[in-house]
Amino acid sequence: MQLNDFVAMMQGIAPNELSMGYDNVGLLIGPESKDIKKVLVALDCSTITAEEAIRLNCELMLTHHPVFFHGAKRISLDDPATAGAYMLMRAGIGLYAAHTNLDACDGGVNDALCDALGIMEQAAITPDGIGRIGALRQPVRFYDYARLVEDRLGAAVRVSGDMDKLISKVAVVGGAGGEYAGFAQQAGADLFISGEFRHHEGIYAREMGLCIIDAGHYETEKPVLKAMINRLHRLCDDVQYNLTQCESGPLSRI
Which pLDDT tens digit goes with each residue over 134-144?
999 999 999 99
Please give the single-letter amino acid code of residue 11. Answer: Q
pLDDT at 22: 92
Angstrom distance (rounded) from CA 122 to CA 187:
12
Residue closest to 219 by CA, chosen among 122, 112, 134: 112
| Statement: residue 221 has pLDDT above 80 | yes
153: how many CB neighbours lie within 10 A of its CB?
23
Read off the pLDDT band of 253 (50, 70, 90).
Answer: confident
Indicate the pTM of the whole model: 0.95
Helix, strand and coil percent figures for the chain, each rounded to 5: 35, 25, 40
Cα-Cα-Cα-Cα torsion 45, 198, 224, 97, nearest 10 degrees, comes to -40
When the pLDDT of each residue in the chain is averaged and rounded to a whole number, the result is 96
pLDDT in tens, 65-109: 999 988 888 999 999 999 999 999 999 999 999 999 999 999 999
pLDDT in tens, 164-180: 999 999 999 999 999 99
> Could you give the residue ranges of the DSSP H alpha helices within 77-221?
83-91, 100-104, 109-116, 142-153, 181-186, 199-207, 217-221
pLDDT at 220: 98
